[in-house]
Structure 1
């Protein structure tokens, strides 16, 4: 059964490689090693030629045994992609059944509490798979609202106090939060501060950070600098010149960062590569225990689409779909148009978002970073769109050496 489903999925994807960005599947679901490698290759190259896919598969695994001629034959087996969603769901169901069987065998051999929890989790995931088919019913939502009438609403992922207040309780599942800024304002630095706050304020949360501008080493320096106050420039260029005391501080911070559930991805460039990781981790996370950062939208590629505005539209659509499907928040960064610098009033507006109106349309919240015109070391975060909260301007003191953002108190006039 597995082999037939896996073959059908791979055949369809080889015929229409662009569909790999649309399916909610993980390579781990494939039992056949060759099909698993082909799926990984498709995720890597996106809408590439069959020869490109074949070459990538050979690079990914020296145990890949299919010939190019066999790949051509596989592609020829595909008739239509109309049933691709159902095929993927069937594959997911088979994978979850196997996970339950494995967990059950382990528990029978060693009936400990941890193994029982693993078995329970696997069983619940299987039960929830078919429960997640949308029949249009609002019964669950009605029960939730009725419950909230007599109980406090569960808060979302915590970050900065004023920002959480603006978001009516924190970063909630289903939220696409987009931060826009011109180069040099500090959107990456702010996102690092935001991620660090979430890791500090939410025990057990997992943060995936996708960076297309910086390396893992640079990002690690940013997180250590944020924690210690030691300049990231110093950590990069002259860490050996630090005093023994400061070196010990850095080593302690390194140990602290390594213990966090923080993963940094600096080689995921295509939409399918990024969404594959998010799907895998978000699907396994508990409520309010996962958030993804994408830095930034303008550097992600969708090989199947030529026009850039279509690519950006597909990127924001996929990110938004995943926030809803897995009930997680995603923070995305974006550039603003250069024209803002030619205006007398440089306060960013929604119309300043570069490349596509889909960023504004698909985002639950859109915020802009800009330097305060009156105070040199203050950067304002202006919430210009907020579907389930308030529009607000929140000032932050920005420490350039450590790239640390400290939320400031707001006066009665909103500053």
Structure 2
């Protein structure tokens, strides 16, 4: 190992020279691994899932590994002969022997059996170097920080960098070749192609919503807004339940592990809603315990047992800050995996406390939620209130301008959706019973009974428009609408 360093000048024996330490590295492991790959390209398959060029300590070795990876990805052979033209004019390689160095690497190759072990050594040492750099940054920042940068801000930044290092092997972002993004995009398209329904993202469990959105996309901030009693929380819990159930039933291939941050309702109340949906027993009966023996034994008990096993995590801390939410989400992703966050609702969240107005605070919250979505590479759904101006219009269907503190919310969101139930408003217009107007009202109520709309007012990745759903208020459940084209044919 070349990661130990002398404390004296070993060549001169001068013990008066100051002690020094070099960054952890192992050039022998780098040489042996590259040699193994040059002899047998199949060795690259054992390490390319985790080992990147930047993990090599020696810059020449990083460039050789990158060139080898490019050739192998093209389906070509990577050996000293095919690589020679890449490095004929490489001055750094010339300093250590030129193209002949490639032949010496091949001659000193380890076996393909040991390739992964050598790759792990190189990767581990690279992470140690990153930890040292990160530690130096933390120390220097703590010693010499600006007045506006508090200790809690420094802790938050340090935790973010540590999380990024643990997740990706690098604590800092930067420019990367477009081929990395191309590879990820093609992978997502391939996964969507192979899935039922051609979903790119996490399923909502609702056919028409999935078709309109293509699922919930990673790194997206989705706003789900509506006036009180429209069913925002019900729709959010339905999506959480469907995504978590799909994740469990598919062994992690579909759906997602879900974190639900409920700032308004307790965890017990939230679970009560989910159980009402799962058991098809009304929320009111569940609250009162007004159940038959059959409902309790054959519906409540098995469904509650199944719900207890789902990858669904609830945090009902009131007025949680964006910093606390980010910290808890990171920890959950590290410990259990995390594929979807839901926040109910964003106006109840706290910012840093350094802003002068509520609009600025909401802007800080929405920007923070978008940053969480990007950092963890998962979709984040944030519920939002709508302003009262909706109630003053004849057409109560919401629009983007109805969002409270709408400027920042609309700007930061990738998708903005509104929940609208005409039945709610129509039910409050009941005329005097027995009049012609009452008969007309009953006809209108029959047309909109158990109907709901999700209005997609903004979508970066696709079209806007309306999705019609069924809403069963007694079960607080949204479901697919059985339109004529989905019904089975009837034969005489």
TM-score (norm 2): 0.58
Contact 2:243 / 2:257 at 8 angstroms: preserved in 1? no
Contact 1:291 / 1:329 at 8 angstroms: preserved in 2? yes
Alignment of 1:320-399 (within 5 A): 320-372=370-422, 374-399=447-472
CA deviation map 1:200-258 (0-9, x unaligned): 2233431100111101110110111110011222222x21x322221222122221111
Large movers: runs of 4+ above 4 Å: 1-15, 144-154, 283-286, 409-412
Separation (CA, whole Å) in 1 of partners of 2:453 and 2:191 = 34
What's the secondary structure of 1:130's corresponding residue? Answer: coil
**Residue 353 to residue 192, structure 1, CA distance change in 2 (3 Å):** same
- Following superposition, the deviation at residue 323 of structure 1 comes to 1.3
Aligned residue number for residue 292 of structure 1: 341
The yes-or-no answer on 1:232 pairing with 2:283 is yes
The alignment of Structure 1 onto Structure 2 pairs a total of residues equal to 314
What's the secondary structure of 1:172's corresponding residue? Answer: coil
Give me the CA root mean square deviation: 3.1
Residue 241 of structure 2, aligned match among 167, 191, 196: 196
Residue 138 of structure 1, aligned match among 178, 193, 197: 178
Residue 331 of structure 2, aligned match among 263, 280, 293: 280
Extract unaligned runs of 5+ from structure 2: 1-131, 195-199, 424-446, 486-492
Residue 162 of structure 1, aligned match among 204, 208, 226: 208
What's the secondary structure of 1:357's corresponding residue? Answer: helix
Separation (CA, whole Å) in 2 of partners of 1:151 and 1:323 = 20
The yes-or-no answer on 1:254 pairing with 2:294 is no
CA deviation map 1:271-325 (0-9, x unaligned): 2221211222345676xx5100000011111123231111111111111112122
Aligned residue number for residue 129 of structure 1: 169
Separation (CA, whole Å) in 2 of partners of 1:92 and 1:325 = 9
Extract unaligned runs of 5+ from structure 1: 27-87, 97-124
Q: Which has the larger radius of gyration?
A: 2
TM-score (norm 1): 0.68
Residue 308 of structure 1, aligned match among 358, 368, 382: 358
Contact 1:188 / 1:295 at 8 angstroms: preserved in 2? yes
Residue 186 of structure 1, aligned match among 231, 237, 259: 231
Separation (CA, whole Å) in 1 of partners of 2:449 and 2:146 = 53
Aligned residue number for residue 322 of structure 2: 271
- Following superposition, the deviation at residue 132 of structure 1 comes to 6.0
What's the secondary structure of 2:350's corresponding residue? Answer: coil
Contact 1:208 / 1:262 at 8 angstroms: preserved in 2? yes
**Residue 218 to residue 13, structure 1, CA distance change in 2 (3 Å):** farther
Aligned residue number for residue 400 of structure 1: 473
